[in-house]
């Protein structure tokens, strides 16, 4: 049986069979790699995300405190403030305060790959921090608090892999983010609103808690806005 490639060569006398077959082999060898590259979706790393004006203000506030207590000289303070004002990414801002505060006190937290563990104690993530697509949480006779009010979600759907043994996972969630709790639980309970609400649009970000729990608890807290602050905002508008 004559292959389709050889039929093509016979129909075009000007083609050299050896070159045509070699080109076909190269194209076949390259196809899997090129398809794989095209099929991979790239997501910027936390440090490459664009910074907002509020992010710059957080960093500048810490720089002012450092200059006030002598950790920075006036020249160092002026230089870092100028760099903060010109910073475009979160990574550029984080570098300006890395030597001024501990990891938990940084105004911009990019340690997204580290698991959060509350073992016989309390661990908290709050402030301006980047929430990765998947986050591991462990609470063993302790408590883990994930405050998402100022957090930056790296994906529209975030999966929290929670292991709880006699511990508590507390999620502080602002309006506009839905929470789903799934997984296996024995002698465990959940409190607060932990499901997608009917009024939530399809594009609402979702925090899915996949819990493996033994005597643990998942608590969802949605802070309420005070009535006087809402009335003041309406009056200003």
- Closest by CA to 84, choosing from 110, 109, 63, is 63
Burial (CB count <10 Å: 0-12, 13-18, 19+), residue 127: middle
Hey, where are the domains in the chain?
4-39, 46-105, 112-221
Instruction: Say what the pTM is.
Output: 0.67
More confident residue, 14 or 150: 150
pLDDT-based confidence at residue 195 (cuts at 50, 70, 90): low
Query: For residue 112, what pLDDT is reported?
Result: 65
Residue 158, H or E segment: strand 157-165
């Amino acid at each position: 049986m004559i292959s389709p490639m050889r039929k093509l060569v016979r129909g075009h006398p000007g083609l050299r069979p050896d070159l045509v077959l070699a080109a076909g082999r190269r194209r076949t060898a390259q196809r899997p790699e090129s398809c794989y590259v095209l099929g991979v979706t790239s997501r910027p790393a936390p440090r490459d995300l664009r910074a907002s004006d509020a992010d710059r203000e957080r960093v500048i506030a810490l720089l002012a405190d450092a200059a006030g207590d002598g950790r920075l000289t006036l020249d160092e303070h002026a230089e870092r403030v100028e760099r903060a004002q010109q910073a475009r990414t979160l990574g550029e801002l984080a570098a300006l305060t890395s030597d001024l505060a501990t990891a938990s006190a940084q105004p911009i937290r990019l340690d997204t790959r580290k698991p959060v563990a509350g073992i016989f104690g309390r661990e908290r993530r709050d402030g301006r921090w980047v929430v990765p697509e998947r986050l591991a949480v462990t609470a063993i006779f302790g408590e883990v608090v994930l405050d998402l009010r100022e957090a930056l979600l790296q994906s529209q759907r975030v999966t929290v892999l929670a292991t709880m043994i006699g511990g508590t996972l507390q999620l502080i969630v602002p309006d506009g983010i839905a929470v789903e709790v799934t997984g296996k639980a024995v002698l465990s309970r959940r409190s607060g609103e932990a499901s997608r609400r009917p009024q939530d649009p399809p594009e609402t970000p979702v925090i899915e808690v996949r819990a493996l729990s033994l005597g643990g608890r998942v608590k969802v807290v949605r802070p309420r806005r005070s009535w006087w602050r809402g009335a003041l905002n309406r009056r200003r508008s």
